[in-house]
């Protein structure tokens, strides 16, 4: 057999073209690693969001069932709940007997261990200390409550002392309103005429309008009082000024069909 030097030369060139340098291999591995990290991060974030929504719905159901159980036991509907009671008497009368409470706290903030102070949606502003009622439920979640001019605001931390202890992430609000105890204001009549007594995800804006009655565009903006936006303006509360962004986030999740969409301020 004759050896063709030209053929051998061409074969060597092909082999060289099909081999990779160490640098090329390392670059490829780095790229694959980066893509893997991004994919794992996205999968974990989506899992977190799904878990958050699931626990939020459970807490909403827990509060609704407590009110319904009180009604079944006493015949008193939520339309007759006395929201003028002190928050401690209110909770003792209407909710405590129908919740699995493991421990009571001096305030909602006091339910957290040292160094675990809850913050609002901006990630740095501490929760107002005027949320006087606090309790730890048997599932480890925290429940706070405070009287408001329109009814009662519930503050819940779905996973208790675990992080991030942040409004809109694991801390959410629910708004209990009894329309019979609201003062009438002619300017608010368009809202009040449509408002029914009940427990709403989120807080409320002007004229006691629950966030659940706003559009998602309004909630994501910076104009609605206590919007679900990191850039919402400062607001006033008993105990001083503090950022109120984040109170509407539970309403946004409900409006979106109980899911956290891509434009949610996660």
The per-residue pLDDT for range 214-248, each reduced to its tens digit, is 999 999 987 777 789 887 654 434 333 333 578 99
- Residue 237 confidence (pLDDT): 40
Q: Which of 136, 135, 117 is nearest to 126 (CA)?
A: 117
Residue 93: CB atoms within 10 Å? 15
Other beta carbons less than 10 A from residue 202's beta carbon: 29
Q: Is 31 helix (H, G, I), strand (E, B) or coil?
A: helix
57-105 pLDDT, tens digit per residue, is 999 999 999 999 999 999 999 999 999 999 999 999 999 999 999 999 9
Domain ranges in the chain are 5-255
Per-residue pLDDT reduced to its tens digit, 166-203: 999 999 999 999 998 887 788 899 998 999 999 999 99
Confidence of residue 17 (pLDDT cuts 50, 70, 90): low
Secondary element (H or E) of residue 71: helix 22-74
Contact, 118 vs 155, CB < 8 A? Answer: no
- Count of beta carbons in the 10 Å neighbourhood of residue 219: 24
pLDDT score at 259: 97
Phi/psi for 137 (5° steps) reads -85, 165
Cα–Cα distance for residue pair 185/143, rounded to 1 Å: 32
Strand partners, 155: 144, 173
Location of structure tokens 């002190």 = 86
């Amino acid at each position: 057999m004759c050896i063709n030097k030209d053929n051998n030369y061409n074969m060597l060139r092909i082999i060289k073209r099909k081999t990779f340098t160490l640098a090329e291999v390392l670059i490829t591995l780095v790229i694959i690693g980066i893509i893997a990290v991004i994919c794992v991060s996205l999968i974990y974030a989506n899992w977190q969001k799904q878990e958050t929504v699931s626990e939020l719905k459970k807490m909403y159901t827990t509060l609704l069932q407590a009110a319904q159980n009180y009604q079944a036991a006493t015949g008193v509907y939520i339309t007759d709940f006395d929201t003028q009671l002190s928050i401690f008497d209110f909770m003792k009368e209407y909710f405590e007997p129908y919740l699995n409470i493991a421990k009571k706290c001096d305030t909602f903030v006091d339910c957290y261990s040292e160094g675990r102070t809850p913050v609002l949606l901006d990630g740095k502003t501490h929760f107002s200390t005027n949320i006087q009622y606090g309790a730890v439920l048997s599932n480890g979640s925290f429940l706070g409550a405070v009287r408001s001019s329109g009814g009662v605001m519930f503050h819940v931390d779905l996973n208790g002392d675990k992080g991030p202890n942040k409004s809109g992430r694991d801390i959410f609000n629910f708004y209990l309103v009894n329309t019979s105890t609201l003062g009438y204001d002619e300017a608010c009549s368009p809202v009040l005429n449509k408002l029914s007594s009940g427990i709403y995800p989120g807080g409320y804006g002007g004229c006691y309008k629950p966030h659940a009655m706003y559009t998602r565009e309004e909630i994501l903006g910076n104009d609605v009082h206590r919007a679900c936006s990191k850039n919402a303006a400062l607001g006033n509360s008993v105990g001083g000024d503090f950022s109120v962004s984040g109170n509407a986030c539970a309403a946004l999740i409900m409006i979106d069909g109980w899911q956290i969409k891509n434009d949610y301020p996660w």
